[in-house]
């Protein structure tokens, strides 16, 4: 798909044409221009030639049917993953990728180990949501929430991510409000500050994973460039400017960051009424092992006793390795299915 060529195709046509086209694309979710009968035939033909609407992806459904992963094939042959999560409360959350691979090389992350190819374009980000809306159409459902927790570091593809968010927000298009969009970052401090100034109501999640610089630098090399003091100060600035809650993601990795002492250190570090900690069972992808459920319970209790707000993400679609960054790593074969 090439949505940006749309603008070129319609050139100086009236604004209502653009609205009709957006409606066809994002609301009616057409997959072939010939069905957009509100448009004149010659424009449909032009659009079919210059802006084809097909999206190629392999879909993998989890046994519980709540999680669906897709490996999307990009125009240059690269692949990215995107995940749909169907929550019991009716939310339909899509996890999107922002880059092909990731340059930051976190030692626990399959995406990081795979290296970095390139940033995704605005279209390639938006298309992931479009793909799932098409997928949900037969059951009269649509994507309600978007999280930037797929492959890549969204704040290193800042302008495309922000433009994609504005497209997702567009009331003539998907109409997904900023409050239902979350950006997860490894902690690019200056970009967190920049985001705070955008006056967007998006949710911020910080991949913390360690209560001190020593452990965090082992897990996340970016911590050497932006150590905790800088990152926490940028997050604090974000909260002051936006008054939004911030989620601190904390992977529970056996023998690395899950000791009682580390829970106590974490409680001191993450101390603000608008901060909450999300404990995530580590999905093993190589070097590390996940903490036991007993350890996670104990860790959580220490945080709760210290008065911290703690949530716990349970293994969502564990059978298809739902933690981000793992599908593309596992699927190197040729496409099985195209939709």
CA 88 to chain centroid, in Å, comes to 20
Contacts for 72-76 with beta carbons within 8 Å, 24 or more apart?
Answer: 72/124, 72/127, 72/128, 72/131, 73/335, 74/100, 74/124, 75/2
Measure the CA–CA gap between 207 and 38, rounded to whole angstroms. 46
Measure the CA–CA gap between 287 and 259, rounded to whole angstroms. 18
Q: Considering only residues 172-201, where is the footprint of ligand SF4 by CB under 6 A?
A: 186
What is the smallest separation between the CB atom of 137 and ligand SAH, expressed in angstroms?
27
Beta carbons of 244 and 275 less than 8 angstroms apart: no
Beta carbons of 104 and 113 less than 8 angstroms apart: no
User: Which CB, 24 or 181, lies closer to ligand SAH?
Assistant: 181
User: Which CB, 203 or 285, lies closer to ligand SAH?
Assistant: 285
Which of 106, 277, 303, 321 binds ligand SF4 (CB under 6 A)? It is 106
Strand 203-207 with 57-61, pairing: unpaired
Q: Which residue is nearest to ligand SF4 (CB)?
A: 112
Q: Is 211 in the site for ligand SF4 (CB under 6 A)?
A: no
Taking residue 224's Cβ as centre, other Cβ atoms within 10 Å add up to 10
Measure the CA–CA gap between 189 and 114, rounded to whole angstroms. 24
What is the smallest separation between the CB atom of 318 and ligand SAH, expressed in angstroms?
10
Residue 39: helix, strand or coil by DSSP? coil
Residues marked active site are found at 81, 324
Stretch that binds ligand SF4, among 23-31, 59-67, 107-115, 229-237 (CB under 6 A): 107-115
Helices of type H across the chain: 4-10, 15-22, 41-50, 110-113, 122-136, 158-169, 189-196, 213-219, 222-225, 228-242, 260-269, 293-305, 327-330
Q: Is 153 in the site for ligand SF4 (CB under 6 A)?
A: yes
Residue 283 touches which of ligand SAH, ligand SF4, none (Cβ within 5-8 Å per kind): ligand SAH
Stretch that binds ligand SF4, among 15-23, 102-110, 231-239, 259-267 (CB under 6 A): 102-110
What is the smallest separation between the CB atom of 210 and ligand SF4, expressed in angstroms?
12
Q: Is 325 in the site for ligand SF4 (CB under 6 A)?
A: yes
Contacts of residue 286, defined as CB under 8 A and 6 or more positions apart, other chains included, come to 108, 110, 113
User: Which CB, 152 or 173, lies closer to ligand SAH?
Assistant: 152
What does each C-alpha distance from 221 to 108, 170, 225 come to in angstroms?
11, 36, 8
Beta carbons of 154 and 164 less than 8 angstroms apart: no
Stretch that binds ligand SF4, among 7-15, 100-108, 130-138, 330-338 (CB under 6 A): 100-108
Stretch that binds ligand SF4, among 73-81, 108-116, 234-242, 270-278 (CB under 6 A): 108-116
User: Which CB, 144 or 278, lies closer to ligand SAH?
Assistant: 278
Which of 111, 119, 203, 285 binds ligand SF4 (CB under 6 A)? It is 111
What is the smallest separation between the CB atom of 265 and ligand SAH, expressed in angstroms?
19
Q: Where on the chain is the footprint of ligand SAH (CB under 6 A)?
A: 102, 108-109, 149, 153, 184-186, 207, 249, 251, 280, 282-283, 285, 323-325
What is the smallest separation between the CB atom of 275 and ligand SAH, expressed in angstroms?
16
Contacts to ligand SF4 by CB under 6 A: 102, 104-106, 109, 111-112, 152-153, 186, 207, 325
């Amino acid at each position: 798909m090439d949505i940006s060529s749309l603008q070129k195709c319609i050139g100086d046509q009236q604004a209502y044409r653009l609205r009709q086209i957006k409606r066809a694309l994002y609301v009616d979710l057409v997959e072939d221009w010939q069905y957009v009968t509100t448009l004149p035939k010659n424009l449909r033909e032009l659009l079919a030639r210059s802006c084809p609407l097909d999206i190629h992806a392999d879909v993998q459904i989890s046994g519980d049917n709540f999680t669906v992963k897709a490996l999307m094939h990009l125009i240059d042959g690269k692949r990215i993953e995107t995940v749909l999560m169907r929550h019991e409360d009716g939310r339909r959350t899509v996890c999107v990728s922002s880059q092909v691979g990731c340059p930051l090389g976190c030692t626990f992350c399959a995406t990081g180990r795979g290296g970095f190819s390139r940033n995704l374009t605005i279209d390639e980000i938006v298309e992931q949501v479009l793909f799932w809306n098409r997928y949900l159409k037969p059951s009269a459902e649509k994507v309600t929430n978007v999280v930037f927790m797929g492959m890549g570091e969204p704040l290193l593809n800042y302008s495309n991510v922000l433009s994609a968010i504005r497209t997702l927000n567009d009331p003539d298009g998907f109409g997904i409000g900023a409050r239902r969009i979350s950006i997860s970052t490894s902690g690019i401090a200056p970009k967190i500050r920049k985001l705070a100034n955008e006056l967007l109501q998006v949710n911020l999640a910080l991949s913390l994973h360690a209560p001190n610089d020593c452990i965090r630098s082992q897990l996340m090399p970016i911590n050497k460039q932006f150590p905790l003091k800088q990152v926490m100060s940028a997050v604090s600035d974000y909260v002051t400017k936006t008054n939004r809650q911030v989620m601190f993601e904390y992977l529970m990795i056996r023998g690395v960051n899950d000791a009682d002492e580390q829970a106590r250190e974490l409680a001191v570090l993450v101390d603000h009424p608008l901060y909450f900690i999300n404990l995530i069972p580590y999905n093993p992808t190589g070097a590390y092992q996940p903490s036991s459920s007993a350890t996670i319970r104990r860790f959580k209790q220490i945080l709760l006793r210290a008065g911290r707000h703690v949530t716990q993400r349970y293994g969502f679609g564990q059978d298809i390795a739902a933690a981000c960054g793992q599908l593309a790593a596992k699927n190197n074969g040729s496409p099985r299915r195209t939709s």
